[in-house]
Amino acid sequence: MPITTEILTVGDELLRGDLNDTNSTWLAARLFGMGIPVRRIVSLGDDLEPLSGAIEQAIHRGGLVVITGGLGPTDDDRTTCAVARAAKVPLELSNTTLETLRARFASAGYPFTPNNEKQARFPRGAMEIKNSRGTAPGFLLRVGDARVVCLPGVPSEMKAMFDDGVVPLLAQDEAHPAAVRVVRTFGVGESQIDHRLQGLLEAIDADPSEVSLHYRTSFPENQVLLVVRGVADPGATLERFEEEVRRRLSPYVFGVGDVSFSDAVVGALKEAGAKVALAESCTGGLAGDLVTRASGSSSVFELGVVTYSNACKHRMLGVPEEVLEQYGAVSSQCVEAMARGVRDLAKSTYGVAISGVAGPTGGTPEKPVGTVWFGLAHPDGVSHLVRRFPWVHDRQRIKQASAHVALYLVLAHLRDGTDPFEGRWEPGKGGRS
Ligand code: ATP
Ligand code: MG
């Protein structure tokens, strides 16, 4: 059975609307990824009474309770005290934690004021969760059927402590921890995915009491998740799942597991020993940002230019003036010339160009908002593609989706034969070559 899980985030700033509760969304996604669905998310202020009351109720419901915030040294940090009250145990000073805290302050050259001692007090029976990035340690306390995990509010500390300190403890408690596999796609909508994956569980011979299928959108990517619970060896089921999803969604799958889109593109370029250069117009450098998110991109990314004006498209990339006059900057002729130009400049394997109408103004009947042209110069020639993003009305989203398409052109070319844009290439002069 999946554990019942609740997340409590603590702090007056949350209730005043001063702070976005990103801790709970991050934790919920993390727990879901571990096959532990979250049943409830609650935010509370710093007042002791309502806080300990809410924790007591959560303990009463049993399962896992993850709390963030209010562990600091100041008077308004009351979470530890509230947990002790709710669990009906006293607070106890941990001498080892106290010594560690003192040593940390000394080595950083900060005075150790008495209020810092508070961070070395834990409810009796609690197990400390170390904080390598800050001063406030967290803790785990078992109360009957419930396990209460307390972490600091600062997101970077909370995340590191959850992954390094809490995940191993949770795994210890599970006879068969849930296993999850994520297949990442781009260029295919959620309804299409759902349609293509109809009957998938039956096809991989999965027992519906042990296995569930989920969809998740992280714009502009769509992900398919398989969660296997309570099984001694989930490996074979996950393998069958991945194989079947790849078969059904083949050209759209860019990675599996912890691989980001940028990792996939940079990894494929590295493997092929190829390099890329980018000439961007409407994306304003976003494709360059996307490729450089992957560490190690320096070995495959040669040059990125943002040529926004026609004059610069001509002067820097050699786009003929006649092309700009006759067809305009948002045209197959222009992106092909840009792609060739940037490839020649960088002497790279690939040159990719983007030029479009991101809106909300500037659309015409022939080139409505959301019309974006892409050029791909490669060792054997030049190709172009036009994409119209009819469902995407937001300028930033059109830019984001376009940056992804541009890099996907490279990925598809490297993969040889799997083309997510099959049938969408504009026919005619200069089409796919
Ligand atoms: P500290 O020792 O730093 O005070 P703490 O456990 O007491 O840690 P809080 O004082 O509650 O944590 O929060 C510290 C900071 O962490 C907040 O000012 C805020 O920037 C961030 N923070 C707290 N809770 C959240 C949350 N739920 N989502 C996002 N950020 C948060
Ligand atoms: Mg604080």
Per residue in 179-191, pLDDT (tens digit) is: 889 999 999 989 9
Q: Considering every ligand atom, which ligand is closest to the CA of 133?
A: 1
Q: Which tens digit of pLDDT belongs to each residue from 312-355? A: 999 999 999 999 999 999 999 999 999 999 999 999 999 999 99
Quick one: pLDDT at residue 148? 97
Ligand 2 centroid from CA 91, angstroms: 19
Q: Which two tokens stand for residue 158?
A: 């909370």
Ligand 1, from 18, 19, 161: best to mutate by most atoms within 8 Å of Cβ?
A: 19
Q: Above 90 in pLDDT, residue 12?
A: yes
**Highest averaged pLDDT of the listed ranges 177-181, 204-208, 277-281, 416-420:** 277-281
C-beta 42 within 6 A of ligand 1:
no
Q: Is 235 in the pocket of ligand 1 (CB under 6 A)?
A: no
Ligand nearest to the Cα of 154, by number: 1
The pLDDT of residue 423 is 66
Ligand 1 pocket check for 115: Cβ under 6 Å:
no
For ligand 1, whether the C-beta of 152 sits within 6 Å is yes
pLDDT, mean of residues 66-72: 95
> What is the three-state SS of the chain?
CCCCEEEEEECHHHHHCCCCCHHHHHHHHHHHHCCCCEEEEEEECCCHHHHHHHHHHHHHHCEEEEEECCCCCCCCCCHHHHHHHHHCCCEEECHHHHHHHHHHHHHHCCCCCHHHHHHHEEECCCEEECCCCCCCCEEEEEECCEEEEEECCCHHHHHHHHHHHHHHHHHHHCCCCCEEEEEEEECCCHHHHHHHCCCHHHHCCCCCCCEEEEEEEECCEEEEEEEECCCCCCHHHHHHHHHHHHHHCHHHEEEECCCCHHHHHHHHHHHHCCCEEEEECCCCCHHHHHHHCCCCHHHCEEEEEECCCHHHHHHHHCCCHHHHHHHCCCCHHHHHHHHHHHHHHHCCCEEEEEEECCCCCCCCCCCCCCEEEEEEEECCEEEEEEEECCCCCCHHHHHHHHHHHHHHHHHHHHHCCCCCCCCCCCCCCCCCC
CB of 119 within 6 A of ligand 1: the answer is no
pLDDT computed for residue 425 by the predictor: 67
**353 within ligand 1 shell (Cβ under 6 A):** no
Residue 25 confidence (pLDDT): 96
Question: How many percent of the chain have pLDDT more than 90?
Answer: 70
pLDDT band at 168 (very low <50, low <70, confident <90, very high): confident
Among the bound ligands, name the one nearest to the CA of residue 118.
1
131 C-beta closer than 6 A to ligand 1:
no
Average pLDDT, the chain: 91
In which band, very low, low, confident or very high, does the pLDDT at 430 lie, cut at 50, 70 and 90?
A: very low
Q: How confident is the model at residue 227 (pLDDT cuts 50, 70, 90)?
A: confident
Q: Which atom of ligand 1 is nearest to the CA of 158?
A: 6
Among the ranges given (59-63, 149-153, 195-199, 360-364), the one the predictor scored with the smallest mean pLDDT: 360-364
Residue 153 Cα to ligand 1 midpoint, Å, equals 3
For ligand 1, atom 22, the nearest C-alpha belongs to 153
- Report residue 429's pLDDT band, with 50, 70 and 90 as the boundaries: very low
Does 4 sit in the ligand 1 pocket, CB within 6 Å? no
**CB burial readout 290-317, b (16+ within 10 A) else e:** bbeebeebeebbbbbbbbeebeebbebb
Q: Name the band, by pLDDT with cuts 50, 70 and 90, for residue 433.
A: very low
Residue 413 has pLDDT above 90, yes or no: yes
Q: Dump pLDDT digits (tens) for 238-265.
A: 999 999 999 999 999 999 998 999 999 9
Residue 3 has pLDDT above 80, yes or no: no
Average pLDDT over every residue of 117-130: 94
CB-based contacts of 14, cutoff 8 Å, min separation 6? 21, 43, 44, 45, 69
What is the per-residue pLDDT for 417? 66
Ligand 1 atom 11 nearest Cα: 69
- Residue 359 has a pLDDT of 83
pLDDT greater at residue 148 or residue 213: 148
Is 351's C-beta closer than 6 angstroms to any atom of ligand 1? no
Asked if residue 220 has a cis previous peptide bond (ω within 30° of 0), the answer is: yes
Q: Which of 105-119, 141-155, 364-378, 410-424 has the highest mean pLDDT?
A: 141-155
Q: How far is the CA of 90 from the centre of ligand 2 (A)?
A: 22
- Encode pLDDT of 353-366 as tens digits: 999 998 888 888 88
Q: How confident is the model at residue 368 (pLDDT cuts 50, 70, 90)?
A: confident
* pLDDT at position 392: 63
Q: 137 in ligand 1 pocket by Cβ < 6 Å?
A: no
| Residue 331 beta carbon below 6 angstroms from any ligand 1 atom | no
Model pLDDT, residue 68 = 98
Say what the pTM is.
0.76
Question: For residue 309, is pLDDT > 70?
Answer: yes
Minimum CA distance residue for ligand 1 atom 12: 153
